[in-house]
Structure 1
Amino acid sequence: MTNSTGKIVTVFGGSGFLGRHVVRALAKRGYRVRVAVRRPDLAGFLQPLGNVGQVMPMQANLRNADSVARAVAGCDAVVNLAGILFQTSKQSFDVVHRDGAKSIAEATAKAGISKLVQISAIGANKESASDYARSKAEGEEAVLAAMPDAVIIRPSLLIGVEDEFFNKFAEMGKLSPFLPLVGGGDTLFQPAFVGDVAEVIARGVDGTLAKGTTYELGGPEAKSFRQLLELLLAETHQRRFLLPIPFWIANLLGTVFEKLPKPLLTRDQVKLLKTDNVVSEAAKADGRTFEGLGIEPLAIEAVIPSYLWSYRTTGQYEANRLR
């Protein structure tokens, strides 16, 4: 570990998939990391990512302005990773992505802290039919209104050991003879390795990114939904039929699935799948990408073998199985 800089960074939502990579990247740089989460008792696993006392979970609720203010008090930089992939009776996109981001930005500005890194998503758009994409865009707007120098990070689909995409479909492949191709499987994604995204966020905390700028982060190659599932099947050695499902049928399925505690598909996700999730040409031209920052992002093929082997019939020993 790097010697401590003495500087404190508060990371909201730091116990999630992206969060643990961000905490690790910041700890390696020597920052003291304050992980602001609703249940700090469930975030103790983050502490070994730094030296003794370097990573400290603390309680914060985005709906409680006083707890947000306490979380940022006395720190040098703030990172907001708080986000949800589907809504529940207690957590809505507007509450987390818009109102939560606004609360954090206003508390950061009031505390006189100059650095705020806000995590959004490629596809964020106030005019989007998707509540997820609209709320992300409204969160960006609220952040920049309170802190014009804030850095906005928009990643594409995040991949890595505990990702929500490849793991979900690999699990589905263990039980189902087919995998669904919503809308025919033509939607394009530009999957980004979670560790690469965490590195850019850490640079935002370092202060080496352009102030008030929105960065779009995608991997080296865009692939269709179908191509991603084909890669999954090849890596897991599964033989499953890829079943095209029209958007209207997927929407009906979403109506049913979104009633589950952890839905396989929601109607809002169906709306998202109608638009490609790739880095814009404007971001490429302006250098607001991995490549523009001098980072060579890892390709999907270099990432997924490290964890998808566990879905093979005989796991890591599949290659040695008698034929």
Structure 2
Amino acid sequence: GRSSRTGYTVSVFGGSGFLGRIITSKLAKHGTLVVAPWRNSRSMRHLKVNGDLGVVNYHEWDLRNVRSIEESVAHADVVINLVGSELNTKNFSMADANIEGSRRIAEAAKKYGVDRFIQVSSYNANPKSESEFSQPKVSVNKW
């Protein structure tokens, strides 16, 4: 509950997405210190009210900047990666978000000795699918 702490620090990449909002909220409400890496502060502001003062902490990051990823996981006990894209954007291709970004986050978690790394993929990650969305997710699941 409020004002209690679990003693864990969890970095949640993709915290502003559908699953991320729910996971971040549950962790913060139970007193887990949450590091919420963000690219757009407007999409993350609503998460701050999920826990007591200082429970949800933001860290600016960029998928291409390994140092910013490492800073986001450096003190975490658990890293949850929810980052993914269903389409190419002007900033990132699906492969950038779904494969390279996930790889960089996993490597940073390993480098800093994070106890648990949780990679959330897609129910649609089917190796037999011809979907442009499915194939990058299949690649990540092979790790």
> Structure 1 length normalisation: TM-score?
0.42
Q: CA deviation at 1:16?
A: 1.6
SS at 2:58's partner residue?
strand
2:90 corresponds to: 89
1:43 is paired with a residue of what secondary structure?
helix
> What's the counterpart of residue 138 of structure 2?
137
**Residue 26 to residue 98, structure 1, CA distance change in 2 (3 Å):** same
Query: How much has 1:78 moved relative to structure 2?
Result: 0.3
CA–CA distance in structure 1, aligned partners of residues 46 and 29 of structure 2 = 16
Deviations 1:238-286 (A, max 9, x none): xxxxxxxxxxxxxxxxxxxxxxxxxxxxxxxxxxxxxxxxxxxxxxxxx
Q: 1:127 to 1:89 in 2, by over 3 A?
A: farther
Structure 2 distance, partners of 1:126, 1:138, is 9
Residue 78 (structure 2) pairs with residue 72 (structure 1): no
1:34/1:55 contact within 8 Å kept:
yes
Superposed displacement of residue 40, structure 1: 3.1
Within 5 Å, which residues of 2 pair with 1:39-118?
39-118=40-119
**Identical positions, percent:** 35
Which AA in structure 1 matches 2:62?
N
Aligned residues of 1:68 and 1:107 also touching (Cα < 8 A)? yes
RMSD, matched Cα: 1.5
Distance apart, 1:89 and its partner CA: 2.8
5+ residue gaps, structure 2: none
Verify the 8 A CA contact 1:44 1:57 in the aligned structure 2. no
Aligned residues: 142
Aligned residue in 2 for 1:293 = none
Q: Deviations over 1:10-42 (max 9, x none)?
A: 000101222111101111222100111212354
Q: Which amino acid is the alignment partner of residue 55 of structure 2?
A: Q
Q: Which secondary structure does the structure 1 equivalent of 2:16 belong to?
A: coil
| Moved segments of 4+, more than 4 Å | none
Q: 1:65: Cα distance to partner?
A: 0.9
Residues 123 and 133, structure 1, Cα contact 8 Å, conserved in 2 = yes
State the alpha-carbon separation in 2 of the partners of residues 91 and 133 from structure 1: 16
Offset of residue 82 of structure 1? 0.7
Partner Cα distance (1:127, 1:99) in 2: 21
**Paired residues of 1:126 and 1:135 also in contact (CA < 8 A):** no
Q: Indicate the structure with greater helix content.
A: 1
Aligned to 2:133, the other structure's residue is in SS state helix
Q: Deviations over 1:64-92 (max 9, x none)?
A: 11111111011110000111222223221
| Preserved contact between residue 40 and residue 58 of structure 1 (Cα < 8 Å) | no
Aligned to 2:28: 27
